[in-house]
Structure 1
Amino acid sequence: MDPHIVFELRRYRLLPGRRETLIRLFDRAFVEPQEALGMRVEGEFRDLDDPDCFVWIRSFKNMDARTDALASFYSGPVWKEHGPAANATMLNSDNVLLLKPAAGVIPFAHNLPRDKEASRRRAQGLIIANICSLAPGTEEDFSEFFRDSAMPAMLAAGARIEAVFMTERSSNGFPRLPVREGETVFVWLEAHEDQNGAVAYRHRLQQNPIWTAEIYPWIDSRCWRRIEVVRLTPTARSLCAW
C-alpha cells in the first residue's frame, strides 16, 4: 500500500438527529469515489459524547495529490449529485485539522484493506482521539518527548496506538474546503476493544509512577488548554476499528 503523508481529521457539527442520514449517504455514495481518486477514507466515527457530530479521517499521498484529488471530487458528478443532501445535514464542516505523521508511527497500520472489508463481520471497538494545542514551534520537541517517554509508557500499559500526528503547515491548496490554519496541534489516536478495555488501560497507566509524576505533567504543562479527548465508535465501513 502506497504511503500517505497528509491527513485530515474532519469533525462535522450536524443538525439534530441527522447523523445517521449522513452516515448512510456517506457510506453509499462517497467512499469508493474518493478512493478511486487516490484518497483513502481511513476511518468514520460517531462521537460518543455528541450525538450530532460525525468524525472522519482521510489521507493523501502528498499535498499536491490532495489538491488534485479534492478538485476532481468536488467538481465531479458524485458531489454534484449527492453533495446538496450531505450539506443539508450539517451546521458546519470547517472543524478540520490538516496533519502529518509524527513520532515515527506509521498511521493506521492496523487498518483493514478496503478489499477485505466485506469479510469483516462488523466494525467494533472504541477509538480515542487526544488533541493537544501547543505553542507555535514546539511540536517537534513535543513529538520527540512523546516518542521517547510517553509512548513507551502507553505501550507498556497495553495501548494500541493507531496514529500520531502533528500540524501539517503547508498552505491549503484547496481553499474551497477550509482547514484550521494558524494552529499548532499534536494528536494521537488509541484503539481499545471497548469502554471497559479503555478504563483498564487508563488504570494500568496511572499505576506507573513515572507517568503520573513526570511524563503526564510534562505533557500537560506544554498544552495551552486541557487536552481534548474525543471518544469515537467506528461506523460499519470504518477501516479504523478494533
Structure 2
Amino acid sequence: MIGKWAGAMMMAGTVIGAMTGAAAGTARGQTADADDAQIVELRQYRLVPDVRDDFVALFDAKFVESQERLGMRIIGQYRDHDDAARFTWIRGFRDMAAREQGLKAFYFGPVWQANRAAANPMLDDNDNVLLLKPAAPGLGFAPAKARAPDAGGDAAGGAVEVVIEYLWKTPDAGFAAFFADEMTPALEAAGVDVIAAYVPLGEPNNFPQLPVRDDRKLLAWFVRGDSHDAIAAALARARGSDRWQSRVAAVLHDAEERPPQTLRLDPTPRSALR
C-alpha cells in the first residue's frame, strides 16, 4: 500500500472526470439542494501523537473547498472530545457514481498530490469508515449556511454527537422505521436536536483504495447542541420521559446487540455542521 490515506491513488495524475458544482454545507437551515448527502462516509482517523492541531489546520485550509469544487460535500470535521489522537469527518455524495467520480478526481488531482506528503505522516489508522445512506426519508443531512471563510482562529463552538446503535439484525428489519417513528419524536419532544440518521449502504465499495467497514447491523444517529453537557441533559430528559419508557426503552433494549458507541465531537473552526 502506497501511503495511508489514498492508498494506490498516491501516484501523480490529472483530474479524472472532474465534477461540476460545489456542495452547500450541512446542518438544517437553508433551502438549498440536499441530495449531495444521499451517500455518506463517517470517517474516524487515529493520528500519531501530538499532531491533531496541525492536521486540523491542514484539513481546514486545503481539503474543504478543494473537494467541494469536485461535487463532494464536506458535511463536518471534528476533534474527538474524549481522545486527543482522534479526528472524525463526514463526507457526502449524491450517489455512488458521484462518489467514484469525485474520489478519483480528488485523489488523482493537484490538491491531494501537493499535500499528501504533509497529511500522510500524521495518520496512524484511517480505515475506520462507515459507508451509509439515510435511515428514512427526511433523516439525511439538510443543507447549512456557509462555513467560516478561512482556517484561522476559533469559530463559535457547539457540539455534535454520533450514537452508533449496534443491532442484532440489519436496520431494514424494522429498527430504521422504529427510529423514525418512535425514537426521533421522543428525542425531539425532550429537546434533543436530531439532525440525521443513517444506516449501512449495503453495496460494494466502488473506490476500494479507501477501505470501508463491512458492518451491516447498525444505525448511526447525529445530534447537536450548545455543548456536550447540554446534549447529555437533553438525552437524559428523553430517556426519563414517560413516552420513552412506554414506547421506546424495551424495543430499543431488545434490538441492541451491545451498548451503543457515542462519539462526542468538537467542530473545527471551519466545520459546517456544528
What is the one-letter code of the residue matched to 1:28?
Answer: A
Shift of 1:214: 4.3
Contact 2:129 2:211 in 1 (8 A): yes
Which residue number corresponds to residue 159 of structure 1? 192
Cα deviation, 1:210-240, whole Å, max 9, x if unaligned, reads 3135413321321222100111111101000
Shift of 1:110: 6.1
Which residue number corresponds to residue 109 of structure 1? 142
Which residue number corresponds to residue 7 of structure 1? 40
Structure 1 residues without counterparts, runs of 5 or longer = none
Shift of 1:39: 0.3
What is the one-letter code of the residue matched to 1:6?
Answer: I
Which residue number corresponds to residue 180 of structure 1? 213
Shift of 1:76: 1.1
Alignment of 1:64-143 (within 5 A): 64-109=97-142, 111-114=144-147, 117-118=148-149, 122-143=155-176
Q: State how far apart, in whole Å, the 2-side matches of 1:139 and 1:48 are.
A: 31
What is the one-letter code of the residue matched to 2:251?
Answer: W
What is the one-letter code of the residue matched to 1:34?
Answer: Q
Which residue number corresponds to residue 21 of structure 1? 54
SS of equivalent residue, structure 1 residue 70: helix
Which residue number corresponds to residue 63 of structure 1? 96
Q: State how far apart, in whole Å, the 2-side matches of 1:217 and 1:89 are.
A: 44
Which residue number corresponds to residue 27 of structure 2? none
What is the one-letter code of the residue matched to 1:17?
Answer: D
SS of equivalent residue, structure 1 residue 94: strand
Cα deviation, 1:131-154, whole Å, max 9, x if unaligned, reads 012234343510111111111110
Shift of 1:195: 2.7
Which residue number corresponds to residue 228 of structure 1? 261
Cα deviation, 1:38-60, whole Å, max 9, x if unaligned, reads 00100001111111000000100
Contact 2:182 2:247 in 1 (8 A): no
Please identify, of 121-130 and 75-84, the stretch whose mean Cα deviation from structure 2 is larger: 121-130
| Distance verdict in 2 for CA 1:212–1:84, change over 3 Å | farther
Shift of 1:206: 3.0
Contact 1:220 1:227 in 2 (8 A): no
Alignment of 1:40-55 (within 5 A): 40-55=73-88
Cα deviation, 1:143-195, whole Å, max 9, x if unaligned, reads 11111111111010001111110111111110000000243220100111113
Shift of 1:113: 3.1
Of 205, 219, 223 in structure 1, the residue corresponding to residue 252 of structure 2 is 219
Contact 2:170 2:218 in 1 (8 A): no
What is the one-letter code of the residue matched to 1:144?
Answer: A
TM-score (norm 2): 0.82
Cα RMSD (Å): 1.8
Q: State how far apart, in whole Å, the 2-side matches of 1:122 and 1:139 are.
A: 38
SS of equivalent residue, structure 2 residue 141: coil
Contact 1:160 1:191 in 2 (8 A): yes
What is the one-letter code of the residue matched to 1:53?
Answer: R
Q: State how far apart, in whole Å, the 2-side matches of 1:31 and 1:110 are.
A: 16
Contact 1:112 1:240 in 2 (8 A): no
Q: State how far apart, in whole Å, the 1-side matches of 2:253 and 2:263 are.
A: 17
Contact 1:139 1:184 in 2 (8 A): no
Structure 2 residues without counterparts, runs of 5 or longer = 1-31
Please identify, of 134-143 and 92-101, the stretch whose mean Cα deviation from structure 2 is larger: 134-143
TM-score (norm 1): 0.92
What is the one-letter code of the residue matched to 1:239?
Answer: A
Shift of 1:106: 4.2
Shift of 1:77: 1.4
